[in-house]
Amino acid sequence: MLERQSYRRRTDDGPNVVMLRQRLLAHHRAVLRRWLDAGRRMGLCDASVCHPLPGAAGPDYVLVWVRENPDPAYMIVPESMRWQITDCIRGNVLARHTSFEAALHAIRPVLDRHEAA
């Protein structure tokens, strides 16, 4: 029986993977302002776009305050091609949505879904 040797070509280029990461754009900030203004009657108090610490490799994120609590209640973070909502008080991931508008709608549905887009 003949033994066949296989040679694997070695490359030191590393993986050819492109990481997709969403960012908070001007469009998202405008939707956030409209959503916050419309939701004041429903208990939304404030929202803030936060940047990672200098030198830290992380995305921008949004903190949302509601009337019931002085600490931020929700955090919205872009995660790959989705938007993750986290309960800041308990530290639980509540949901992942395909759009920023859908994430806001999940917290408080104060804008019409078509109006927010």
Residue 14 has a CB neighbour count (10 Å cut-off) of 6
Domain count, the chain: 1
In a domain, 42, yes or no: yes
* Full domain range(s) for residue 71: 26-52+59-116
In a domain, 3, yes or no: no
Specify the pLDDT at position 11: 53
Specify the pLDDT at position 81: 86
Specify the pLDDT at position 12: 55
Q: With the CA atoms of 27, 83, 92 and 47 taken in that order, what torsion angle do they form, in degrees rounded to the nearest 10? A: 0
Specify the pLDDT at position 24: 84
User: Which portions of the chain are predicted below pLDDT 50?
Assistant: 1-2, 4, 6-7
Specify the pLDDT at position 20: 54
b/e burial code for range 28-56 (CB count within 10 A of at least 16 → b) = beebbeebbebbeeeebbebeeeeeeeee
Specify the pLDDT at position 6: 47
Amino acid letter for position 92: N
Specify the pLDDT at position 51: 82
